[in-house]
Amino acid sequence: MERPTGAKKACSHLANCELFPKFAMKAALKVWQVYYCEGQFESCARYKLALEARPVPQTLLPNGKELAPQLIPWLGLRAREA
């Protein structure tokens, strides 16, 4: 069996695949970990709140923004109460 040559093609079901965004999110989480948790933790919004002994919302991202609501259940988190 010959191996195909040239550029790899993406799956034709990519746009409608429910699993693909989850794979992408896991990779994105690793980027956050490397940049903030293992590097620039002093600039992390979560770290800053913790230093001040203030509550740190589960949905707070290191850059100070809130996690997209549709990702909260997937990550097993609770929505922030108003």
The answer to whether position 81 is within a domain reads no
> Domain total for the chain?
1
Full residue range of the structural domain in which residue 67 is found: 20-71
The answer to whether position 46 is within a domain reads yes
Q: What is the model's pTM? A: 0.61
pLDDT in tens, 31-78: 888 888 888 888 999 999 998 999 988 888 899 998 888 777 766 666
CA distance 44 to 41: 5
8 A C-beta contact, residue 34 and residue 48: no
- Checking if the pLDDT of 14 tops 80, the result is no
The answer to whether position 14 is within a domain reads no
The answer to whether position 38 is within a domain reads yes
CA distance 53 to 33: 22
8 A C-beta contact, residue 45 and residue 62: yes
CA distance 44 to 48: 6
The answer to whether position 48 is within a domain reads yes
The answer to whether position 42 is within a domain reads yes
- Checking if the pLDDT of 1 tops 50, the result is no
The answer to whether position 58 is within a domain reads yes
